[in-house]
Every structure is written in C-alpha cells, then in structure tokens.
Amino acid sequence: GESVGLHLPTLSVQEGDNSIINCAYSNSASDYFIWYKQESGKGPQFIIDIRSNMDKRQGQRVTVLLNKTVKHLSLQIAATQPGDSAVYFCAEVTTSGTYKYIFGTGTRLKVLA
Amino acid sequence: NAGVTQTPKFQVLKTGQSMTLQCAQDMNHNSMYWYRQDPGMGLRLIYYSASEGTTDKGEVPNGYNVSRLNKREFSLRLESAAPSQTSVYFCASSEFYRGGYGYTFGSGTRLTVV
C-alpha cells in the first residue's frame, strides 16, 4: 500500500550544526507535504508545508526541499538548538480523487551540547 | 487561546469498561479528527468530522464511536475497552477538510487498558 517513510529513525547533531531530516513518499499524485514536530509528551505541531508545484520553501530556520523526480522530501534545520530535540515526521496529502492524509513514522532528532 | 484541548490526559481502564475522550477547539475550525499513535507507527485516523453534523470512519474505526456535539466539540467513545486500544489518542482540527491543511493537535490522552 501507499506509505510515507523516513530513512533514519534517529539523528544526532551537534548544537549549532545544521540538521537534515529525510522523508520518502510513494504517491506521485500527492500535492501537499507537511512537516510536524512532536516534543516528548506533547501533540504534533505544524512546522512548514510545501505544495507539489514548488521545489523549496523557507521558514524561520527551516527549509523544506521537494524532489518529485525521486519522491523525496527533506527538512533542513539551520543552527540546531537544544529546543529542536523532538520527533519529526512528514505527512503526504492527496486531494485529487480519494482524499488521503498519511503520516510517516518519524525521525528522532537529538541535539548534543 | 487554548487551540485544541483534550481531556483527560491520562486514563487507566479495565477491559470491558467504557469511557469518553473529550476534545474542544476554539479556532472556529470546521473539521476535527481523532487519531491514535502507537510505537513505530504513524498516526492512524480513527474517525473524522469534515464539518459540523457529519462524521465518517477513518482507517481504524472498530471499537470506537464519535459524536460531533457542536462545531467546537468532538468526542471519542470506547464502549468496551480492550488491551489493543492501549495507545495515545490525539484530537486535531483544521479549517476545512479537503486540502493540504496543517492540523492543530491537542496534547493527547494516554490510555492504558489492563
């Protein structure tokens, strides 16, 4: 079946370094992609989204890149801070035909002091 | 500005007991959702309400019922709890249903069924 997955279950980065979290998606017809952050004991929090007609979108310290050729999505966090420690997961949304909103399983980001 | 509020935060049930998880949002969102989150799995949709007055089954509806009480409130009921329903439950809302909307989630209810 269709799925949204992550390459790395755990990513450890040094404070101040840049982080890159990856996501592979399977449905080429998906037209929205969304990144969420989930801190321990809390609900997921929307970070940034990107439409399928875009390759890149920037937010505050975060950038999402979309490569439709290989069905790959990445979240880049600049100057990673201790407060960035969390689980990050992507969601894939298909609005044409049968509506689908599928969440990936997540990557844990650990920021080392 | 609470966003999405869920109660209770923690609950322990015995097998066969019933309970209702409450959810309320104050953002005037039309659509609301109930998800469960289990280790190693992505969020799975239990039920959703695209708009006030409508509810529909999601991916894993068995053993659950929902009520969209009004535009603000969407409750999830377990009629006869089973150990397989041990999970963390999240309520979420979005302005509309069909679209690439980021959801606003509550802080979750951690449910243990023994």
Q: Read off the pLDDT of residues B75-92 as tens digits, 9 standing for 90 and up.
A: 999 999 999 999 999 999
Q: Please give the Cα distance from B77 to B88 (Å, whole number).
A: 14
A50-85 residue pLDDT tens: 999 999 999 999 999 999 999 999 999 999 999 999
* pLDDT the model gives residue B49: 98
Find out whether A19 and A37 touch, Cβ atoms under 8 Å: no
* pLDDT the model gives residue A5: 42
Tell whether A62 is within 8 A of chain B (Cβ): no
Tell whether A49 is within 8 A of chain B (Cβ): yes
User: Nearest to residue B96, comparing CAs of A17, A99, A44?
Assistant: A99
- The B-side interface with A (CB below 8 A) comprises 4, 40-43, 45, 90, 92, 97-100, 102-108
Tell whether A101 is within 8 A of chain B (Cβ): yes
Nearest CA distance, A81 vs chain B (angstrom): 23
Pick the residue from chain B with its C-alpha nearest to A52. Answer: B100
Number of neighbouring beta carbons within 10 Å of residue A73: 25
> pLDDT grade, residue A23 (50/70/90)?
very high
How does the average pLDDT of chain A come out, rounded? Answer: 91
* pLDDT the model gives residue B104: 97
Best mutation target, A4, A101, A103, A105, to test chain B (most B CBs within 10 A): A101
All residues at 6 or more sequence positions from B39 whose CB lies less than 8 Å from its CB, including other chains: none
Q: Over 50: is that where the pLDDT of A13 sits?
A: yes
Q: Over 90: is that where the pLDDT of B29 sits?
A: yes
* pLDDT the model gives residue A8: 46
Give the A window 1-40 contacts with B, CB below 8 Å. 4, 31-34, 36
Find out whether B11 and B76 touch, Cβ atoms under 8 Å: no
